[in-house]
Amino acid sequence: MVQQARYPTSEPVDFLVVGAGAAGGVVAKQLSTAGFSVVVLEQGPYLREADFRHDEMANTKFHPLTNDLQLQPHTFRETEKERARVQPAVMYGRVVGGGTVHFTANYWRFHEIDFVERSRWGPIAGTGFADWPITYADLEPYYTKAEEELGISGEAGANPFDSWRSKPYPLPPLPVKSSGVLFERAARKLGWHPFPAPMAILSRPYRNRAACVHCGFCMEFGCEVGAKSSTLAAVFPLAEQTGRCEIRPGCYVRKIEVSKSGRVTGAIYFDPQRREVFQNAKAVVLCANGAETPRLLLMSKSNFFPQGLANSSGLVGKYLMFDAGAIALGLFEHPLNEFKSVQVTRVIHDFYNSDPKRGFYGGGGIDARFLFYPISFAMGALPPEAPRWGAEYKKLLQEYYTRTMVLLSHTTVLPLETNSISLDPEVKDAWGLPALCVTYRHHADDWKTMGFTQEREKELLEVAGARKIWTFPLEALPPSAHLMGTCRMGNNPRDSVVNHLNRAHDVPNLFLVDGSCFVTSGRQQPTATIQALAYRAADHMAKLAKRGDL
């Protein structure tokens, strides 16, 4: 039994990681394995497999895995001209493991094009459309590393639009579901190229973890058998086994402190008893997600950084990019039973690339899935013209629940400087800290792309032989769980926050690794890219630390 690491707060640890999510888990594991002392501060609880239950009511009412808007309200407005009002704006994982505990576990790499779209298509007026300072080739070894260590199931070569890979997936695809079969047949008839969905879910037992049991409770729930490749299941145990990684749950960071020379010295946080504690550190890695990382930087003002820590560019919090996509639903003659097994088994990337002939920028992937649990289905999945109560409504529930599938697209959003995370000037959270304020509006091309993919979805459902096809208005998008762009990566400190290795331009011992560093949105599914960036950044941090440069 390895001795649990316990570091005194007064002694500087080598690395202080804020946020135990997709990136935080990878960074903590890599650095502790490389021999460094690591403390991870996570505001949420440290839950385990035995805590995860199939309880849709609990998820709906108590939000055990995600941010609690009673404790930490958000404010939202579409533009800076309006006053932000208290309402849900973003969603993120708030447990050890972060979003990887509750996510649907889609796991797409970016394509080569995602890193160089500005070079390819030219600038887009009024936006921050830009190339990344890295290419797919720079990241490829780390995508491979992430897939291998975390355990990703898929079929290399099955997607003709995928970029090259140095190794196949470590695990074969999960078994196809009825939605995947119908999708695949119809897509092929249309001349498209359906492929098995890459999923962060084990199709076989792997590295002492159990394989998926197809219970159907992936999306929004924790995996009670450890088959979903969350950082909780896959890398935090490895980090703790080194004896050098201490995870502190229930610890909410309110400020990163800096010295007179402008280097970070550690973090002030509220412990579980709401006492303020200062943890000394030689270097700090923020992995708090694309909303909370910029918020923390903005809350960390000092004489050295009057605009917020690492914010000489003024871009901390700016260029916020959200999730986007459109759905179409289809009813079929025989039961699909989509409530069983993983959400997604088949995908197409035929419309991934932008195409100027369409008249707008954007593209996306389309997959076949279900998206509902019993209560959410009965609340609002039936066609818009269907009765919402009564005898006919009940008949429709009985007929539709097992015979329905959903196509969902995952589409691009353009970076707009006016879309941002900021500190609300009035509203406070339960700790007295300024509430997260979101200012957000999609670009017109984002809507056109969603609409374009929705038309393809309807086409596919038609060809698949759906007895009935329906959609919901594009405007009805829930709070985004994809949070990108707010500390963008770049070579020039005047128009970016971190360099190409996730080091803050302004602060030599501060690193930002999560969705905030994204330059473009990709076609959603950001987790694979976040984790590849985390492996790469951690490599670099370890090198710097070994050289004595931190």
CB distance 393 to 382 below 8 Å: yes
Q: Does 180 bind another protein (CB under 8 A)?
A: yes
Question: Could you tell me how many residues of this chain bind another protein (CB under 8 A)?
Answer: 61
Q: In whole angstroms, how close is the CB of 28 to another protein at the nearest point?
A: 21
What ranges in 366-426 are assigned the alpha helix state H?
374-380, 391-400
Q: Does 394 bind another protein (CB under 8 A)?
A: yes
**Residue span binding another protein (CB under 8 A) among the ranges 43-51, 98-106, 139-147, 530-538:** 43-51
- Structure tokens that stand for 242 in this block: 């080194």
Q: Does 51 bind another protein (CB under 8 A)?
A: yes
CA dihedral 198, 537, 493, 311 (to 10 degrees): 90
Taking phi over 0 as left and psi of -120 to 50 as alpha, with beta for the rest, 207 belongs to: left
Q: In whole angstroms, how close is the CB of 178 to another protein at the nearest point?
A: 4
Residue whose entry in the numeric block shows the structure tokens 């309880």: 55
Q: Does 384 bind another protein (CB under 8 A)?
A: no
Q: Does 388 bind another protein (CB under 8 A)?
A: yes
Taking phi over 0 as left and psi of -120 to 50 as alpha, with beta for the rest, 303 belongs to: alpha
Q: Does 341 bind another protein (CB under 8 A)?
A: yes
Q: Does 3 bind another protein (CB under 8 A)?
A: no
Q: Does 379 bind another protein (CB under 8 A)?
A: yes
Q: In whole angstroms, how close is the CB of 212 to another protein at the nearest point?
A: 10
**Cα separation, 247 vs 159, whole angstroms:** 39
Residues in contact with another protein, shown as a per-residue x/- string from 400 to 419 under the rule CB under 8 A: -xx-----------------
Q: Does 430 bind another protein (CB under 8 A)?
A: yes
Sign, CA torsion 383/362/346/202: negative
Q: Which of 87, 189, 375, 543 binds another protein (CB under 8 A)?
A: 375
Q: Does 123 bind another protein (CB under 8 A)?
A: no
Q: In whole angstroms, how close is the CB of 361 to another protein at the nearest point?
A: 36
Q: Does 181 bind another protein (CB under 8 A)?
A: yes
Taking phi over 0 as left and psi of -120 to 50 as alpha, with beta for the rest, 181 belongs to: alpha
Residues in contact with another protein, shown as a per-residue x/- string from 261 to 290 under the rule CB under 8 A: ---------xxxxx----------------
| Number of Cβ within a 10 Å radius of residue 61 | 9
Site for another protein in 507-536 (CB under 8 A): none
Residue 466 to residues 39, 330, 400, 402, Cα–Cα distance (Å): 53, 5, 12, 14
Q: In whole angstroms, how close is the CB of 388 to another protein at the nearest point?
A: 7
Residue 22 to residues 140, 232, 484, 522, Cα–Cα distance (Å): 18, 9, 13, 17
Site of interaction with another protein (CB under 8 A): 45, 47, 50-51, 53-58, 60-62, 64, 68, 70-71, 175-178, 180-182, 213-216, 224, 250, 252, 270-274, 332, 334-341, 374-375, 377-379, 388-391, 393-394, 397-398, 401-402, 430
